[in-house]
């Protein structure tokens, strides 16, 4: 693990910038900031020690989480991103692990304005995938090389991935990270996002239940 301020391992897709301890409503975390040398995005590794006080190592529980301003800051019910982030932080606070928070991934990589344009098309009946395509944009353009580089900097080459998305697993493995298992993260389901989650399951291959309990009476 790199400890100096601002350094890059030769061949790494990220450069380490700074580490600091941050108390949060979820617990006390070490936050390590990285710059993506491919996209120039700024990413953060949120790290919680294990109950015995050790730093996460191989086999750690890891969440690779894409930035979602609408869901995390504004509480949008059109997705489950905010509850997923909260649940991941609570889980690593209790068990130890890492949340790799990837900026520049808004709207599966299309950006905030295009994401809101896609939302508008969804009001006319398109699903989340077709709305992106109707804008002439990829259904999902996210790339996880930066996440793999961050994990490698932390000395973690094998993880239990807290995710429902097999594509994250595939890309991490492609970038040299062994994924022992996908640990389900099924939270934040509501009547407002049930169709969105159906599309993720049926058209994008996410491992979600065939029946989603929205909590509606």
More confident residue, 194 or 154: 154
Q: Say if strands 42-48 and 97-102 run parallel, antiparallel, or are unpaired.
A: antiparallel
Q: Which domain holds residue 180?
A: 14-105+142-204
Task: Return the pLDDT at 199.
Answer: 85
Give pairs for 49-52: CB < 8 Å, separation 24+: 49/96, 50/95, 50/96, 51/94, 51/95, 51/96
pLDDT band at 214 (very low <50, low <70, confident <90, very high): low
Interacting residues of 23 by C-beta distance below 8 A, sequence separation 6+: none
Q: In the sheet where 178-183 sits, what is the strand order?
A: 14-23, 28-36, 42-48, 97-102, 60-66, 158-162, 178-183
Task: Return the pLDDT at 1.
Answer: 61
Phi then psi dihedrals of residue 65, to 5 deg: -120, 130
More confident residue, 80 or 207: 80
Binding residues for GTP: 63-67, 84, 106-108, 128, 163, 168
Interacting residues of 98 by C-beta distance below 8 A, sequence separation 6+: 45, 46, 47, 48, 56, 60, 61, 62, 63, 92, 151, 154, 156
pLDDT, one tens digit per residue, over 160-170 is 999 999 999 99
Assess whether pLDDT exceeds 90 at residue 7.
no
Q: Is residue 211 part of a domain?
A: no
Q: Which residues pair with 42 in a beta bridge?
A: 35
Question: How many whole angstroms separate alpha carbon 196 and alpha carbon 153?
Answer: 34
Task: Return the pLDDT at 8.
Answer: 61
Q: Is residue 112 part of a domain?
A: no
Assess whether pLDDT exceeds 60 at residue 54.
yes
Phi then psi dihedrals of residue 99, to 5 deg: -110, 115
Q: Is residue 82 part of a domain?
A: yes
Binding residues: 63-68, 79, 81, 84, 106-108, 128, 163, 168
CATH of the domain at 65: 3.40.50.10990
Interacting residues of 58 by C-beta distance below 8 A, sequence separation 6+: 155, 156, 157, 158, 159
Q: Is residue 63 part of a domain?
A: yes
pLDDT, one tens digit per residue, over 42-51 is 999 999 999 9
Indicate which residues carry an active-site annotation: 140, 142
Q: Is residue 159 part of a domain?
A: yes
Instruction: State both tokens at 171.
Output: 């890309």
Question: How many whole angstroms separate alpha carbon 170 and alpha carbon 178?
Answer: 10
Mean of per-residue pLDDT scores for the chain:
92
Assess whether pLDDT exceeds 50 at residue 147.
yes
Binding residues for Zn(2+): 68, 79, 81
Q: Is residue 165 part of a domain?
A: yes
> Number of folded domains in the chain?
1
pLDDT band at 99 (very low <50, low <70, confident <90, very high): very high
Task: Return the pLDDT at 3.
Answer: 58
Q: Is residue 99 part of a domain?
A: yes
More confident residue, 5 or 62: 62
- Give the whole-number percent of the chain exceeding pLDDT 90: 80
Task: Return the pLDDT at 194.
Answer: 83
For residues 50, 52, 54, 60, the Cα torsion angle rounded to the nearest 10 degrees is: -30
Task: Return the pLDDT at 75.
Answer: 95
Instruction: State both tokens at 137.
Output: 């944009």
Instruction: State both tokens at 125.
Output: 């009946």
Question: Could you give the 3-state DSSP secondary structure of residue 60?
Answer: strand
Q: How many residues does the chain have?
A: 217
Q: Is residue 6 part of a domain?
A: no
């Amino acid at each position: 693990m790199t400890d100096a301020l601002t350094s890059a391992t030769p061949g790494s897709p990220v450069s380490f910038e700074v580490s600091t301890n941050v108390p949060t409503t979820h617990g006390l975390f070490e936050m390590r900031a990285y710059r993506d040398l491919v996209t120039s995005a700024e990413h953060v590794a949120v790290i919680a020690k294990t109950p015995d006080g050790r730093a996460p190592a191989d086999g750690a529980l890891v969440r690779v989480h894409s930035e979602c301003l609408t869901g995390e800051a504004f509480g949008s019910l059109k997705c489950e991103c905010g509850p997923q982030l909260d649940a991941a932080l609570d889980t690593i606070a209790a068990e130890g692990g890492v949340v790799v928070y990837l900026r520049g991934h808004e709207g599966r990589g299309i950006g905030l304005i295009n994401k809101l344009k896609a939302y508008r098309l969804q009001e006319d009946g398109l699903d989340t995938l077709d709305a992106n395509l109707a804008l002439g944009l990829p259904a999902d353009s996210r790339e996880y090389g930066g996440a793999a580089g961050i994990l490698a900097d932390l000395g973690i080459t094998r993880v239990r991935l807290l995710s429902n998305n097999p594509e994250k697993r595939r890309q991490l493995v492609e970038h040299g990270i062994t994924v022992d298992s996908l640990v389900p993260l099924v939270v934040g389901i509501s009547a407002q996002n049930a169709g969105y989650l159906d599309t993720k399951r049926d058209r994008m291959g996410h491992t979600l239940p065939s029946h989603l309990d929205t909590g509606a009476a």
